[in-house]
Every structure is written in structure tokens, then in C-alpha cells.
Amino acid sequence: MSHHQGTFDLARTHAEGFEYAFLKATEGSSFVDSRFAANLANARAAGLLVAAYHYQRGDSTAAAQAAHIMRTVPADVPIVLDVEANGGDANLTRDIVRRLVAAGWRSPLLYLPRWYWQQIGSPSLAGLPPLWYSRYANNQGGAASDIYERNADWFAQHWAGYGGLGVAVLQFTSSATVAGHTPVDANAYQGSREQLAALLGTNPTPNPEDDLTPEQAQKLNEIHHELFGPRGPQGQIVGWGTKAGNHTAIGMLVQIVNALIGPAASRVPGSTVQVTAVDAIRNVDGITYQLPALIAAAGHTDPAEVAAALRPIVADVVGPVVGDVVRAALGADNDATAAAIVDGIADRLAATGAAA
């Protein structure tokens, strides 16, 4: 999906049997899809798994494109590079992916059509994520499931990959009717919703019957983005830097974890991955905050001691951000309530005797 489809009823989309939506976010070093923020909020509120995609441009540097992505896409949203016409080569793709992963973003898939792969010389794609591949049997439309079923034998031969990568998601039509829109691209994944969530590296998003209203879910997403997403100079930690710039408080904690436990084995043979921001802070259930447990598992020190040492730092750095977000969420008429919430969070963060 992108702005080309306009407003899209994603609750109806989920009701029609779809489980995930891939949303255009960015292109090159400056373009932002005008529907991305709304599509992301609506898709999550509808209970769809989500990923964002970035159209790679060969005339922009990896550093500029990665920075643009990180300014736009929340760190808890998987990002897929879309590499086709005027997209540059696989080395540019590798550089962008490397920068994103190093900063805590996930890049679980690569959209690089076979025709473009051949156009750039059929290079090895080893070390890049598995393919989101597009191959259409014909332009006959209808419901996505009907299109796939009537061409199932033809599609069966197109799950093999190229360049050393396998195909994880198959875009099998550009002519589907979805939630009253046509033509729409539709995709298949040969596994369960839970398996796709694991591939994307995300926690399954809440279903509409959960307690949160769409408005509450959107506000929660905004708060999560403020805490985990990219920062401007005001929100970065001066003095805790890399060649790419200073880190946020969350980035500091992730860097500490990676320094202590080292890189973990990747699903790609011969490579490793580092702990991402969300994985470092919370468990797969999205509730259990596990940074001390990770450190304890490494056998380096008592997690309670680490927590006690980090709490004042986190309180000083995260506190002002939390305060701004809470006040914005509650509005100007609820300043007393906002102040009480902020004070309570500050007390919990700074409490060295609190449980790790």
C-alpha cells in the first residue's frame, strides 16, 4: 500500500482474511509517503501485522537513506528495502541494511525483482534478508484468494529464489480487489501468522477485540515511537557516540547489552546479529522487560546491581521525554494528572531499591 490507494479500510481488510500489510514509508533521502503514518496506525489498530518499505535510490548515499528511514519509521516497525529501477546495486543495499540493523531497526525481507537482479549483473545476495518476490501469472483480477487458487500450480514453481536467497513472501498479483479497492498488490506467505510475526521480528499486533480503542492504540504507538524511535539533537546523549552520531538512552542500553553478551547466531549461516532495541528492552511477550535478565545470563554481574546503577541515568535522560509525551497525550486541560503520572514514572525509574 501507498498513497496511491488513498484512504483504505484496513479493518475491513482484516475482516476479509488478510493478516498483514506492507506500507510504503520513504524513498531516497527525502520523500515520505503522505499516507504512511495513517496507514501504519490504522493497520495496527485493525490487528494486522505490518512492515514498512523504502524505495532505494541509486543517486542517494546509504548514510542519507538510512538516516531518512530512521527519521520516519519507528524502530519497532520492520523496514524492507524495495530495490528496482534506478535503485543502485546490491552493495548499496547491504550498506543501508547494515546501518539500519546497527541502529536497532529490523530489515527482515528484501524486495528485489528477478528482472532487476539480472539487470545489475545477477550478483550474489548472500548475507541479505530473504526475498519478497513478485511474479504475476496474469492480469485477471478478483479476490486475492481466488487469484492464488486458480493459479496455484503456476505459482508453485516461483517459490525458489536467486542470488543465494530464498523466497519468503510472494507478491502474486497486482490486480486483486481488497476492501473495495482495485487493483491492489496481494502477497502470500506459506506459514502461520505467528511464523510471519517471527520472520518480521515483531510481536503480533492487538486484534480489534482487545481492550484498546483505535485512538488509544494510536496514542500508545506515538509514545512508543517517542521512546524507541529516532531523536533529534535535543534527545540524544552527548558524549556516548559513534561515527554515526550520538545515541539515545535506549541506544546506550542496547550497546551495553551487546558489549556484554556479544553478537548472537543469525539464521543466515556464517553471520551474526546483535540485539535490537526492542529485544534488549522487552521479551517476546511484549511485557517482560528483560535487560537485567540478559546481563545476568551473560554471567557478568548481578542484574540488580546493574539496574541500580542505570536507573538514575535513565531517569535523567528518559524523564523529560516521558513528560512531554504524557502531557501531549492528555492535553492541556489535564496538567495535574500529567504531572502526577510523570512524577510516578520518575520515582520508579530513580528508585534504586525497586525490583530489577
Q: List helix spans (H) across the chain.
A: 10-15, 36-45, 62-72, 90-102, 114-119, 144-150, 152-156, 193-200, 214-228, 249-261, 277-281, 291-297, 303-330, 335-350
Q: Which of 110-114, 235-239, 267-271, 332-336 has the lowest mean pLDDT?
A: 235-239
173-219 per-position pLDDT tens digit = 999 999 999 999 999 998 888 889 989 987 544 444 445 555 554 55
Residue 138 has a pLDDT of: 80
CA trace torsion 121, 126, 130, 133 (10° rounding): 10
> What's the pTM?
0.59
For residue 183, whether the previous peptide bond is cis, meaning omega lies within 30 degrees of 0, is yes
pLDDT at 139 over 60: yes
What are the structural domain ranges in the chain?
3-200, 214-350
229 contacts 74 by C-beta, under 8 angstroms: yes
User: Over 60: is that where the pLDDT of 251 sits?
Assistant: no
- Please check whether residue 102 is in contact with residue 274, taking contact to mean a CB–CB distance below 8 angstroms: yes
Percent of the chain surpassing pLDDT 70: 63
| DSSP conformation letters of 101-126 | HHTT-----EE--HHHHHHTT----T
Q: What is the DSSP letter of 351?
A: -
pLDDT tens-digit map of 319-353? 666 677 777 777 767 777 877 877 777 666 555 44
Distance of CA 107 to the CA centre of its chain: 7
Residue 267: predicted pLDDT: 45
Tell me the fold of 3-200: TIM Barrel (3.20.20)
Q: Quote the pLDDT of residue 335.
A: 75
Helices 335-350 and 303-330, packing angle to 10 deg? 170
Mean pLDDT of the chain: 76
- Report DSSP state, residue 248: P
How far is it, in rounded angstroms, from Cα 354 to Cα 307?
9
pLDDT tens-digit map of 276-329: 444 444 444 444 444 555 555 555 556 566 566 566 655 555 566 667 777 777
